[in-house]
Amino acid sequence: MLKKALSDCGIRIADCGLPIAIAEFGLRIAEYPIPKLLAAIAFRNPHSETRIRNPNSAFRIPHSQIRILPSAFRIPQSLMPYLYNTPDDQREMLRAIGAESIDELFAPIPADLQLKRSLDLPPAMSELELDRHLQMLAGLNDHAAKKVCFLGGGSYDHFVPAVVDAIAGRSEFYTSYTPYQAEASQGNLQVMFEYQSLITRLTGMDVANSSLYDGASAAAEAVLMALHAHPQRRKIVAPASVHPQYRETIATYLANLDAELVTLDCPGGVIDADALAATVDGDTAAVLVQQPNFFGCVEDADRASAIAKTAGALLISVFDPISLGLLKRPGDYGASIAVAEGHTLGTPMSYGGPYLGIMACDQSLVRRMPGRIVGETRDRRGKRCFVLTLQTREQHIRREKATSNVCTNQALFAVRASVYLAQLGPQGLRETASLCLQKSRYLAGRLCENDRFSLAFAAPTFKEFVIRDAANDVDGLLRTALEAGYLAGLPLAPWYPELSDCLLIAVTEKRTKAELDGLVHALSAAPARQEALS
Amino acid sequence: MRNTRDTQLLFDLSKPGRRAARLPACDVPERPPEELLPAGAIAAAAPALPEVTEPQIVRHYVNLSTQNMSVDTHFYPLGSCTMKYNPKRNERAAAMPGFADLHPLQPAETIQGMLHVLYEMQQYLSEISGLAACSLQPAAGAHGEYAALLVAAAYFRDMGQSEQRKRVLVPDNAHGTNPASAVMAGFDTVAVKTLKNGGVDMADFYAKLDDRIAVFMITNPNTVGIFEPAMRELADAVHQRGGLVYLDGANMNAILGVTRPGDFGADMQHYNPHKTFSGPHGGGGPGAGPICVTKRLAPYLPGPVVEKELRGASCEAREDEIAPFSPLSPRNSQLHRYSLTSPPKSIGRVRSFVGNVGVLLRAYCYIRTHGPDGLRAVSENAVLNANYLLSRVKHFLPVPQGDRCMHEFVASGSRLKAERGVAAMDVAKRLLDFGYHAPTVYFPLTVPEAIMVEPTETESKETLDAFAETLFRITGEDPQLLHEAPHTTPISRPDEVQAARQPTLCCPVF
Ligand SMILES: Cc1ncc(COP(=O)(O)O)c(C=O)c1O
């Protein structure tokens, strides 16, 4: 029956067994006239079988029966949009190589290790089909234009100016590799040098590298730096007000090393200075401070810094780049290493990545820094230029003695951050920070007009804050708000069981008064659970 | 056309009072910051960022961009980096608001489309690797190596062998990230020698293999571009000693659909989707480093991973009810739901949120564009192109590994150096004058004057011919001309010693 269906489609079947004929059909299409093929396309089911579809009938062949046959012919390039080699090219190239077939080139792979079937993946799609498929999938997501986003916790719905996309969309930037050949990469190198300069100005630190993966892994790398700088000290102190995912990442990085992560409770939403002073000791290599912290509260960074310094420990600042339009810079309060999640500088939320790990440090630590660093120098003719430098820290030179294993970084997001910072300038950054502050405080105030809601912590906040629901029905609140079109906030229960009646709400410069009032209305209208009220 | 005049530093364009961005007026009642924030926390002044206009920004960066070579403008045969064409449809897809404007902590029910892509990626990558489970967390290849080694460490801890198994064996031609990752993960590294053809020196391997082995890291095809001849034996020997085999998957572009790491003995691997699956390199990043592992290592994977629940039942049980490739049709969205979970004995997270999903989304587009046969065609043509170029180059630049390669080969400039005093770096720099990006040079360290060429499948025979002819011409050029090359680029031969000795790493604030 299958033979008949295929021959109905004009496809001749070799004398070999049926499954082989199918494989030939599926994998070596070039042997058959294309127009006929289009009438009978092989669909590979992701699960277990291959389907042959023609206008009249459908058949299923178990994958286990499919075999790949050697053949000199390859997929017609019409099906493969990025390949150049025509069958004639291939023949000529094989002749020059002195090989009979492409399969012969794979002969060094022992036959018993070669895959005897085709990969179990969905069939190829044209660009139009792919676009339609992705539009469908994207349409299933409630993105920021569909639901007003009040979510924070390390990712924020800040505005991205068009100029950022225009520059980062230059393919000379996004399709180039790491600037190992300085002469062919002065554009990237100068942008990196300027990025490092912008970050040092933003943070008040001495030097910056040219990017790490993201904020959390940058924090973990900072911890490793501190441990190397203090080989006798084994303790890292992180208050509970540091982003839980950052602390989890640090814990992962320390799991197999001789070091200990000590978490300091923050019942008041900020570091308790006395408790910190009692925890930090001569064995402490570093103290982490997040500013503003995970709850949005502004820490007394000067105090934490003084405590760390007294014990001879390094202060690692985890900062919010936007906040530096208003708040003191990490360098101002004596941080030795400053790290941040930099996506807020010109990169959309992108479901969490790729992002930008910012790292800056004291001059004294520069040779311990992970990642690539760009420096200024002169060329053969005395012209100012830029190169990758201090490479003896890095894995490609030092291998197991390197300061870190980082190779590929997030260079394109350093480009985005640079353009963003240039676009905003000092004034724009200040205004952005100010809008975040004013709007979030307005929202907090409005919410607390309702007796049901109160601020969980007394400390002043910047763009995020924690509200407590007296009715203890965070899930209900979130559900009601979602129906009204708002992603109202992050429930804290997964990370802080004692805050299971609390919601972390973030407000960026993008939120309008109408949206803020709308959220207040939606949350106030939420019915409280019966048992909570009684 | 390149404008060489407008390349001042961004900071030199600054003038007080200029600005590019205007923000909306504040639409809520304002209070002075001093009332809202503690006085001690407020900065004395805004950071000293440049004050420039938008047209200045655009001219500055656009002109800088023209000082780069890139895949879109030049042949870029940089070995080990797989500088293939970066499809535009992938870029457009990643920028769709339905993907780009999602918050990473949104409730699962609001991101089912995104989670579908990620779930499918886990499945595809597992299938391509022949390994049971996948985590998309790591942010780059090196991060994947590191995460997988942490998985191995957790596994051995569980087996009560963590004291015993401290050693990671790494061939001496491996990428530098391999030993660096092993040390970060708390292991000791032991270098294993390799032979002239690039294969592992079996005598040295056996001399170093004992019950202390935790992991053997191997790049296959390896960094000289050959398929490890003793792969099966190596893997069996490691397994016999109770160790695990890690595959550095940077060279997957050679073997898609041809052979699978899980089938040739690997227990774990990472991918570099920014190489194999066409993610643009972005001038150094971003990448992604998803890892796949065997079933027995799956419980230790870094989380979160995406899970598919089927009407409350586990998905394997009811998979057959779902029509293929229309997983989210109205009928099927009632059948299943995606969510994030952490594997039961997870090593934890190695970064924030799920992973570099923008890179993975592009890889998804790439895999869907090619399908199974297309992916195999990618590898076939990558290998064909490399062998063809090798057949043309070997006549004037010796290729110690022999006449055949997989997706790349390493020529040696040592004869050129001995006879004419021309270094691999001279050749690399001179190629820039002819409009070619240089191959990777001086890697792997085991080949003297290494010139590592990876043409990729997205180049034509004509390009390869022209490149080979240029390379041939260069090998005959006046050595002095070559020492001073390049001659046509914006700058030539920067003083790297000076840069490192007295580092100037940022522009001072005046
Ligand atoms: C063989 C090999 N292994 C590992 C890596 C590291 O990957 P990544 O740069 O993505 O961290 C690379 C790439 O640079 C590589 O070529």
- Tell me what pLDDT residue A114 has: 97
Contact B293, B273 (CB under 8 A): no
Does the domain spanning B130-302+339-366 belong to CATH 1.10.10.10?
Answer: no
Q: How far apart, in Å, are the Cα atoms of A531 and each of A147, A470, A472, A503, A534? A: 30, 12, 10, 20, 5
% chain A with pLDDT above 90 = 80
Mean pLDDT of chain B: 94
- Tell me what pLDDT residue B330 has: 45
- Tell me what pLDDT residue A356 has: 98
Chain mean position to CA A400? 27
Mean pLDDT over residues B450-476, rounded? Answer: 98
Q: Which residues pair with B269 in a beta bridge?
A: B247, B292
| Maximum alpha-carbon separation in chain A | 87
Mean pLDDT over residues A307-330, rounded? Answer: 98
- The size of chain B, in residues, is 510
Mean pLDDT of chain A: 88
Could you check whether the bond before residue B280 is cis, i.e. omega within 30 degrees of 0?
A: no
Indicate the angle between helix axes B424-433 and B461-475, nearest 10 degrees.
Answer: 120
- Tell me what pLDDT residue A63 has: 45
pTM score above 0.90: yes
Question: How far does the CA of residue B328 sit from the closest CA of chain A (Å)?
Answer: 8
pLDDT at B304 over 80: yes
For residue A54, the one-letter residue type is N
CB atoms within 10 A of CB A282: 10
Query: Which long-range contacts does A516-519 make (Cβ < 8 Å, 24+ apart)?
Result: A516/A439, A516/A442, A516/A443, A516/A446, A516/B28, A517/A446, A518/A148, A518/A484, A518/A485, A518/A486, A519/A148, A519/A150, A519/A443, A519/A481, A519/A486, A519/A488
- Tell me what pLDDT residue B131 has: 98
Chains A, B: CB pairs < 8 Å? 725
**What's the CA gap between B409 and B197, in Å, rounded?**
11
- Out of B64, B71, B372, the one facing A191 most closely (by C-beta) is B64
**What's the CA gap between A52 and A5, in Å, rounded?**
9
Residue A531: which pLDDT band, with cuts at 50, 70 and 90?
A: low
Dihedral, A132, A138, A140, A145 alpha carbons, nearest 10: -130
* DSSP secondary structure letter of residue B200: B
Q: Cβ–Cβ of A187/B51 closer than 8 Å?
A: no
CA of B452 to the centre of ligand 1 (A): 14
Residue B332: which pLDDT band, with cuts at 50, 70 and 90?
A: low
pLDDT at A34 over 80: no
Sign of torsion over alpha carbons A216, A219, A220, A221: positive
% chain B with pLDDT above 90 = 91
pLDDT at A43 over 70: no
Ligand 1 mutation pick, B78, B80, B194, B228, max ligand atoms within 8 A of CB: B80
CB atoms within 10 A of CB B278: 27
Mean pLDDT over residues A483-493, rounded? Answer: 98
- What HEC string does B354-395 produce? CCCHHHHHHHHHHHHHHHHHHHHHHHHHHHHHHHHHHHHHCC
Residue range A401-412, pLDDT digits in tens: 888 999 999 999
**What's the CA gap between A339 and A341, in Å, rounded?**
7
pLDDT at A37 over 70: no
Indicate the angle between helix axes B141-158 and B177-184, nearest 10 degrees.
Answer: 40
Residue whose pair of structure tokens reads 């000590």 in the numeric block? A262
Structure tokens at A398: 């030092």
Could you check whether the bond before residue B304 is cis, i.e. omega within 30 degrees of 0?
A: yes
**What's the CA gap between A25 and A21, in Å, rounded?**
6
- Tell me what pLDDT residue B233 has: 98
pLDDT at B161 over 50: yes
Residue whose pair of structure tokens reads 């991973």 in the numeric block? B305
CA of B465 to the centre of ligand 1 (A): 28
Q: Cβ–Cβ of B384/A90 closer than 8 Å?
A: yes
pLDDT at B320 over 80: no
**What's the CA gap between B156 and B300, in Å, rounded?**
11
Mean pLDDT over residues B364-391, rounded? Answer: 97
- Out of A82, A141, A424, the one facing B102 most closely (by C-beta) is A141
Chain mean position to CA B336? 33
Residue B506: which pLDDT band, with cuts at 50, 70 and 90?
A: very high
* Least confident stretch, A257-271, A365-379, B305-319: B305-319
Residue B335: which pLDDT band, with cuts at 50, 70 and 90?
A: low
Contact B491, A383 (CB under 8 A): yes
A-proximal residues of B, 323-342, CB under 8 Å: 324-325, 328, 333
Fold entry, domain B372-496: Aspartate Aminotransferase, domain 1 (3.90.1150)
Q: What does B60-73 look like in DSSP terms, one character per residue?
A: HHHHHHTTB--TTT
- The size of chain A, in residues, is 534
CA nearest B198: which of B178, B176, B182, B221? B221
Helical H segments across A109-214, by residue range:
127-139, 162-168, 171-174, 186-203
Sign of torsion over alpha carbons B28, B31, B37, B43: positive
Residue B310: which pLDDT band, with cuts at 50, 70 and 90?
A: confident
DSSP SS3 for A504: strand
- Tell me what pLDDT residue A67 has: 40
- Tell me what pLDDT residue B333 has: 55
* Least confident stretch, A3-7, A380-384, B387-391, B484-488: A3-7
Sign of torsion over alpha carbons A494, A499, A502, A506: negative
Mean pLDDT over residues A21-46, rounded? Answer: 34
Residue range A151-191, pLDDT digits in tens: 999 999 999 999 999 999 999 999 999 999 999 999 999 99
**What's the CA gap between A368 and A212, in Å, rounded?**
14
pLDDT at A360 over 50: yes
For residue B441, the one-letter residue type is V
Mean pLDDT over residues A263-283, rounded? Answer: 98
Whose C-alpha lies nearest to ligand 1, atom 7? B141
The predicted complex's ipTM stands at 0.96
Residue B88: partners with Cβ closer than 8 Å, 6 or more residues away: none
Give me the sheet containing B313-314, strands edge to edge. Answer: B313-314, B305-310, B336-341
Residue whose pair of structure tokens reads 């820039």 in the numeric block? B432
Which residues does chain B have within 8 Å of residue A345's beta carbon, measured at their own beta carbons? none
CB atoms within 10 A of CB B21: 18
pLDDT at B285 over 50: yes
CA nearest A130: which of A174, A81, A58? A81
pLDDT at B267 over 80: yes
CB atoms within 10 A of CB A204: 21
- Tell me what pLDDT residue A528 has: 79
Contact B329, B323 (CB under 8 A): yes
Phi-psi region of B402 (alpha: psi -120 to 50; beta: other; left: phi over 0): left
B443 touches A: beta carbon within 8 Å: yes
- Tell me what pLDDT residue B509 has: 80
Q: Which residues pair with B305 in a beta bridge?
A: B341
Contact B228, B220 (CB under 8 A): yes
CB atoms within 10 A of CB A59: 15
Residue A398: which pLDDT band, with cuts at 50, 70 and 90?
A: confident
- Tell me what pLDDT residue A439 has: 98
Mean pLDDT over residues B365-380, rounded? Answer: 96
% chain A with pLDDT above 70 = 84
Mean pLDDT over residues A210-228, rounded? Answer: 98
Mean pLDDT over residues B351-365, rounded? Answer: 98
**What's the CA gap between A251 and B132, in Å, rounded?**
27
Residue A396: which pLDDT band, with cuts at 50, 70 and 90?
A: confident
CA atoms within 13 A on the CB side of A94: 20
Which atom of ligand 1 lies at the shortest distance from residue B80's CA?
16
Contact B293, B151 (CB under 8 A): yes
Question: CATH 3.90.1150.10 occupies which residues in chain B?
Answer: 372-496
Q: Do β-strands A314-319 and A337-341 pair in parallel, antiparallel, or remain unpaired?
A: parallel
Instruction: Please classify residue A127 by burial: count the beta carbons closer than 10 Å to its beta carbon, then call 0-12 exposed, 13-18 middle and 19+ buried.
Output: middle
Q: Best of A91, A120, A121, A492 to disrupt the B interface by mutation (most B CBs within 10 Å)?
A: A121
Which residues does chain A have within 8 Å of residue B10's beta carbon, measured at their own beta carbons? 194, 198, 418, 422
Residue A218: which pLDDT band, with cuts at 50, 70 and 90?
A: very high
**What's the CA gap between A343 and A352, in Å, rounded?**
9
Name all domains of chain A by residue range, CATH numbers in brackets.
Answer: 77-108 (no CATH), 426-524 (3.90.1150.10)
pLDDT at A69 over 90: no
**What's the CA gap between A333 and A328, in Å, rounded?**
7
Question: CATH 3.40.640.10 occupies which residues in chain B?
Answer: 130-302+339-366
CA nearest B96: which of A411, A351, A153? A351
Instruction: Please classify residue B97 by burial: count the beta carbons closer than 10 Å to its beta carbon, then call 0-12 exposed, 13-18 middle and 19+ buried.
Output: middle
- Tell me what pLDDT residue A16 has: 31
Structure tokens at A273: 């200075």
Which residues does chain B have within 8 Å of residue A149's beta carbon, measured at their own beta carbons? 103
Q: Do β-strands B133-135 and A502-506 pair in parallel, antiparallel, or remain unpaired?
A: unpaired
Q: Which residues pair with B337 in a beta bridge?
A: B309
CA of B174 to the centre of ligand 1 (A): 10
Q: Which residues pair with A505 in a beta bridge?
A: A465
pLDDT at B5 over 80: no
Sign of torsion over alpha carbons B235, B239, B241, B246: positive
Q: What does A451-487 look like in DSSP terms, one character per residue?
A: TTEEES--S-BSSEEEEEETT--HHHHHHHHHHTTEE
Residue range B190-249, pLDDT digits in tens: 999 999 888 999 999 999 999 999 999 999 999 999 999 999 999 999 999 999 999 999
